[in-house]
């Protein structure tokens, strides 16, 4: 068994975990590109369409408890099996003939996503040594790249096999989980689970209580940043294809536009974490929160061929927040990292759910175009929240 030093950046495991994120999130990104079809076929309002994303995110309420479990069990178990579960549920979405079945599939997928996204960053931290920001950038690059590929995969499957033939994607999920099993089974045990840490825990919820007490101010600030960031990010990830098709664009063009946005986001996440290692988490977050509204304004005033370049700039900025905050959380909490990540992921997913629902309701009331303009204004209060963070070159010097 290969020994992985405590402070070593072990590239092979880092890349494997990035691939795991890519496999999982390729399947989990199927909803948005086919949402215009579901709206048309089932006669859904924007509010009901938004509620589908909420069903997908409701299981995130379990994230803190999943974090507790993940602190006690080998993290690789969750990372290996969840891409298969997500592949099965999401490949069956276009086949669904009722809203209830859609909701059940998305709830199941949401549980799978939670069991992946809570422990995976912790394992990534363990194999990244001192370069946590770089590790998180690799991890988020895999996820964002997946969300640029996912729309093309599901729309390509529909083109090849029809809307009832997307179940043929399930074997790819099986192959992904098998690949991860053979790649991750050799990770040394001391990087997967800390038995001494477990023995010191006195109560089931002690790790959550401990993390919240020590980092209450940090999580309040993160809540403000994530909520305002989500206003723009959720509007585009959930409703960009619907927004464009309602304006006369084809489903394929709308899907390609979403892929361009997500591909730019993949580049942004890859750069932001590593860059924050150099200039500090606060400076990186401030830069992102200032540029995102500017690039959204550019998109709203763009027409024709200018739309895609504006989506590149917007995607590069709006998705760059996540690896920086993940690195900030992991830097701040050394004792119970999975529990801390579980709290953050709960905040992230729940706030995204709230924002998506608000956008759906506003879309029914005032139309998606006016809703997008309002989202631009509502994203601006995120800047003061970033300014509340303490400053340091590295997050371990500048955490709250």
By CB atoms closer than 10 A (0-12, 13-18, 19+), residue 335 is: middle
**If you ran DSSP here, which 8-state letter would residue 336 be given?**
S
**If you ran DSSP here, which 8-state letter would residue 44 be given?**
-
Instruction: Report pLDDT digits (tens) over 89-121.
Output: 999 999 888 999 999 999 999 999 988 987 888
For every one of its 400 residues, what pLDDT tens digit does the chain have, with 9 covering 90 and above?
Answer: 344 455 677 788 889 999 999 999 999 999 999 999 999 888 999 999 999 988 988 887 776 677 666 656 666 888 999 999 999 999 999 988 899 999 999 999 999 998 898 788 878 877 887 777 778 778 878 887 888 899 999 999 999 999 889 999 999 999 999 999 988 877 765 555 544 444 444 444 566 677 777 778 888 898 999 899 889 888 898 899 998 888 887 888 888 898 899 888 888 877 887 788 888 888 889 999 999 999 999 998 887 778 889 999 999 988 888 888 888 887 776 677 767 777 787 788 788 888 989 999 999 999 988 999 999 999 898 899 989 887 544 444 444 4
Enter the CATH code of domain 11-398: 1.20.1250.20
Domain coordinates of the chain in residue numbers?
A: 11-398
d(CA 184, CA 129): 17
Q: Which residue has the tokens 């640029």?
A: 148
Query: CB 266: neighbour CB atoms within 10 A?
Result: 23
What is the per-residue pLDDT for 205? 56
By CB atoms closer than 10 A (0-12, 13-18, 19+), residue 188 is: middle
**Secondary element (H or E) of residue 389:** none
What is the per-residue pLDDT for 51? 92
Query: CB 41: neighbour CB atoms within 10 A?
Result: 13
What is the per-residue pLDDT for 138? 87
- 3-state SS assignment for residue 8: coil
Q: At how many degrees (to 10) do helices 99-117 and 63-70 cross?
A: 40
Quote the percentage of the chain above a pLDDT of 90.
Answer: 32
**112 close to 89: Cβ distance less than 8 angstroms:** yes
What is the per-residue pLDDT for 89? 96
* CA 45 to each of CA 59, 259, 323, 351: distance values in angstroms, whole numbers, following the listed order: 23, 24, 33, 21
**290 close to 225: Cβ distance less than 8 angstroms:** no
d(CA 123, CA 295): 34
């Amino acid at each position: 068994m290969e020994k992985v030093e405590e402070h070593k950046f072990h590239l092979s495991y880092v890349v494997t975990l990035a691939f795991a994120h890519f496999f999982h999130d390729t399947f989990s990104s199927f909803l948005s590109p086919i949402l215009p079809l579901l709206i048309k076929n089932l006669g859904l309002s924007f509010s009901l369409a938004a509620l589908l994303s909420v069903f997908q995110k409701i299981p995130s309420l379990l994230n803190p408890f999943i974090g507790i479990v993940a602190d006690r069990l080998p993290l690789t178990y969750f990372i290996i099996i969840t891409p298969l579960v997500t592949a099965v549920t999401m490949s069956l979405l276009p086949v669904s003939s009722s809203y209830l079945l859609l909701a059940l599939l998305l709830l199941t997928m949401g549980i799978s996503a939670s069991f992946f996204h809570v422990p995976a960053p912790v394992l990534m931290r363990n194999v990244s040594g001192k370069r946590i920001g770089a590790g998180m950038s690799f991890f988020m690059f895999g996820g964002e790249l997946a969300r640029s590929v996912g729309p093309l995969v599901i729309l390509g499957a529909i083109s090849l096999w029809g809307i009832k033939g997307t179940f043929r994607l399930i074997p790819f999920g099986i192959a992904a989980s098998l690949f991860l099993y053979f790649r991750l089974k050799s990770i040394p045990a001391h990087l997967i689970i800390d038995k001494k840490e477990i023995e010191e825990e006195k109560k089931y919820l002690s790790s959550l209580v401990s993390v919240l007490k020590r980092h209450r101010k940090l999580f309040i600030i993160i809540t403000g940043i994530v909520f305002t960031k989500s206003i723009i990010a959720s509007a585009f990830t959930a409703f960009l294809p619907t927004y464009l098709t309602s304006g006369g664009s084809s489903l394929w063009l709308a899907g390609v536009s979403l892929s361009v946005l997500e591909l730019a986001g993949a580049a942004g996440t890859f750069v932001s974490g590593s860059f924050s290692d150099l200039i500090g988490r606060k400076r990186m977050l401030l830069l992102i929160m200032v540029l995102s509204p500017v690039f959204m304004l550019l998109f709203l005033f763009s027409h024709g061929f200018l739309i895609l370049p504006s989506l590149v700039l917007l995607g590069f900025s709006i998705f760059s927040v996540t690896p920086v905050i993940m690195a900030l959380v992991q830097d701040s909490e050394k004792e119970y990292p999975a529990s801390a990540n579980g709290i953050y992921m709960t905040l992230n997913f729940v706030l995204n759910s709230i924002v998506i629902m608000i956008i759906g309701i506003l879309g029914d009331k005032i139309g998606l175009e006016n809703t997008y303009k309002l989202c631009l204004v509502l994203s601006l209060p995120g800047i003061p929240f970033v300014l509340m963070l303490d400053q340091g070159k590295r997050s371990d010097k500048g955490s709250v």
